[in-house]
A and B are shown apart, each in its own frame.
Chain A
């Protein structure tokens, strides 16, 4: 009997856990903006088998902590060519959750960008 209750508890924990995983998976997505006429900065050593293959990729993966009076922030990045070829912003469940429970004071930022090739 005890065992059965225990199992049921386990089951509900499992269900909850699966729900969280499913939810976090489905709420994990990225948006990529690509410059139509731009040429990406090349990187012959990037052999990733995806969109970024052959392109020089910059990654920002950090958590920004804002002070009480700070609502907005900028990430100031530098491209030698002065322009971005593509920017990919990744939204994760963890990031949304972190922002929610800290009332927006901690923001998880996951960005991948490629600069324009220098002209």
Chain B
């Protein structure tokens, strides 16, 4: 039997201390030992039974229940006041067997894997690499769980691929304590696995594009994600360049993403006519307090896999232009106890000059995140054609109404089909501000809450459509925020959620974050077709 330990914790906090949040109980479920239960599917189903037992307990007590992963979300999206479940020890992974493929599937069997919710990206990297495969895209590092990534829509390493949920092709949810509450969802237009597979995990199948797209970025509120079927591709390498380039050029390229006609080219990364190749990933780093004529940019290009290449990690470990928070904490290291001094340093110093090159796999280039202290991260998504304008507005906000201890970056991601993906524009520019949590009164500067509120107001006042990363710092109670960002899509999401979970289930998987955003609304009398397979 899978075993669950129960801890009366009193308070729960995120990895970067964006809480604490009062919490009664933390559960941690460990799988049955392999020696006692050698079949991987048996262990998976055994864990499902245990989760259903916990869900029944919570329902009986009329309490809420929420699964969480690595607690990397920097707000209260992963928090629930009654029962929180730590998933990371639920980490079964398996390749897909021939007899599990749907006859109409267009996926290659060898590219598909089934992974349990608590697998962190790093262990999935290794597992698929050992099968000759690579993940398609991740965030800037590797410590999140797969379920955590899907639930908030983690993006960041690949411009042309999309976010993590965009390579998920099947979802196994547990929505309650009964046998029919184990469901396996897929798109009806893109079936992947068949009833044999579903039978093995004791799930009823629903193939329905609308439901699947809604459940993907489910904010922890669409049931317990027990497992996901993911699509990988053949191994590849990435060549990463970090350079300082003219600021206008960097911003112009962000706006057009037209690498072929940009003045920014990297020697060796051009076609036969000398035109720039499209980068796999493009990122711009900005210190808002300095009028530097140059910005640091990171451009990464995809290469065929070869077994022999210099190990990129020793260089990456000392390199600071990786994750924005790494860069910031390197600058802030000496001044973290004095925010005014830190701001003075930011006002004086431009971002360090750099000219780096490194080659590695996706797992190596987007490796471990080394910072463990308190931090915030604000991330708004805008259409990339609005990136220059949004950057100008939000850097001006920091200068005029700040300062705040943080620096900026922009990353770019292809549109997602997930209903509530914040990567909803044809190409979304994620404009990010990362830094150290500060006390407004003590440092006599604007508060984090006020700055977040002003971010929304400024973008609204300038008619720039935007989204906000679900796992980051924001004024989530801002009136009408979600409706403003997603319009009808927010209603669609609520309808599918209500139809799938029913009223009791919707309450069970709700939390304060959902209430703050208004997404907890239960919609009565939804059409049963929302949760039926479409032929």
Kindly provide the distance from the CB of A108 to the nearest chain B CB, expressed in whole angstroms.
28
Interface segment, one of A15-23, A47-55, A60-68, A99-107: A47-55
**Any A CB within 8 A of the CB of B13:** yes
Measured in the bound complex, the distance between the Cα atoms of B93 and A36 in whole Å is: 20
A44 to chain B: which residues have CB within 8 Å? 26, 28, 71, 86, 88
Out of B9, B89, B123, B372, name the residue touching A50 (CB < 8 Å): B372
Measured in the bound complex, the distance between the Cα atoms of B91 and A47 in whole Å is: 22
Kindly provide the distance from the CB of B57 to the nearest chain A CB, expressed in whole angstroms.
19
Summarize A's interface: helix, strand, loop or mixed.
Answer: loop
Contacts A44-B28, A44-B71, A54-B70 given; indicate if A39 touches B13 (C-beta within 8 A). no
Out of A39, A53, A118, A119, name the residue touching B372 (CB < 8 Å): A53
A72 to chain B: which residues have CB within 8 Å? none
Kindly provide the distance from the CB of B415 to the nearest chain A CB, expressed in whole angstroms.
31
Measured in the bound complex, the distance between the Cα atoms of B24 and A98 in whole Å is: 48
Measured in the bound complex, the distance between the Cα atoms of B508 and A108 in whole Å is: 53
**Any B CB within 8 A of the CB of A95:** no
B86 to chain A: which residues have CB within 8 Å? 42, 44
Measured in the bound complex, the distance between the Cα atoms of B127 and A44 in whole Å is: 23
> Is there contact, CB below 8 Å, between B15 and A53?
yes
Out of B7, B9, B126, B370, name the residue touching A37 (CB < 8 Å): B126
Measured in the bound complex, the distance between the Cα atoms of B86 and A39 in whole Å is: 16
> Is there contact, CB below 8 Å, between B15 and A39?
no
Contacts A36-B313, A53-B15 given; indicate if A42 touches B89 (C-beta within 8 A). yes
Measured in the bound complex, the distance between the Cα atoms of B125 and A49 in whole Å is: 26
- Residues 1-45 of chain B: 1 if any A CB is under 8 Å from the residue's CB, otherwise 0? 000000101000101000000000010100000000000000000
**Any B CB within 8 A of the CB of A112:** no
Measured in the bound complex, the distance between the Cα atoms of B7 and A36 in whole Å is: 32
**Any B CB within 8 A of the CB of A110:** no
B127 to chain A: which residues have CB within 8 Å? 119
A6 to chain B: which residues have CB within 8 Å? none
B26 to chain A: which residues have CB within 8 Å? 44-45
Measured in the bound complex, the distance between the Cα atoms of B313 and A45 in whole Å is: 30
For window 107-138 of B, CB contacts with A under 8 Å fall at: 120, 122-123, 125-127
Out of B7, B9, B88, name the residue touching A42 (CB < 8 Å): B88
> Is there contact, CB below 8 Å, between B122 and A39?
yes
Kindly provide the distance from the CB of B437 to the nearest chain A CB, expressed in whole angstroms.
12
> Is there contact, CB below 8 Å, between B372 and A49?
yes
> Is there contact, CB below 8 Å, between B13 and A119?
no
**Any B CB within 8 A of the CB of A117:** yes
Measured in the bound complex, the distance between the Cα atoms of B127 and A16 in whole Å is: 57
> Is there contact, CB below 8 Å, between A39 and B120?
yes
Kindly provide the distance from the CB of A71 to the nearest chain B CB, expressed in whole angstroms.
35
- Residues 71-98 of chain A: 1 if any B CB is under 8 Å from the residue's CB, otherwise 0? 0000000000000000000000000000
Out of B7, B91, B313, name the residue touching A117 (CB < 8 Å): B91
Q: Which of A42, A54, A119 has the most CB of B within 10 A?
A: A42
B71 to chain A: which residues have CB within 8 Å? 44, 54
Out of B15, B93, B122, name the residue touching A54 (CB < 8 Å): B15
> Is there contact, CB below 8 Å, between B373 and A47?
no
Out of B7, B123, B125, B370, name the residue touching A119 (CB < 8 Å): B123
- 10 A-B residue pairs with Cβ-Cβ distance under 8 Å, sorted by A, are A37-B363, A39-B120, A39-B126, A44-B26, A44-B88, A48-B372, A53-B372, A54-B71, A117-B88, A118-B91
| Further pairs besides A49-B374, A54-B71: 12, Cβ < 8 Å | A39-B123, A42-B70, A44-B26, A45-B9, A47-B13, A48-B372, A49-B373, A53-B15, A117-B123, A118-B91, A119-B91, A119-B93
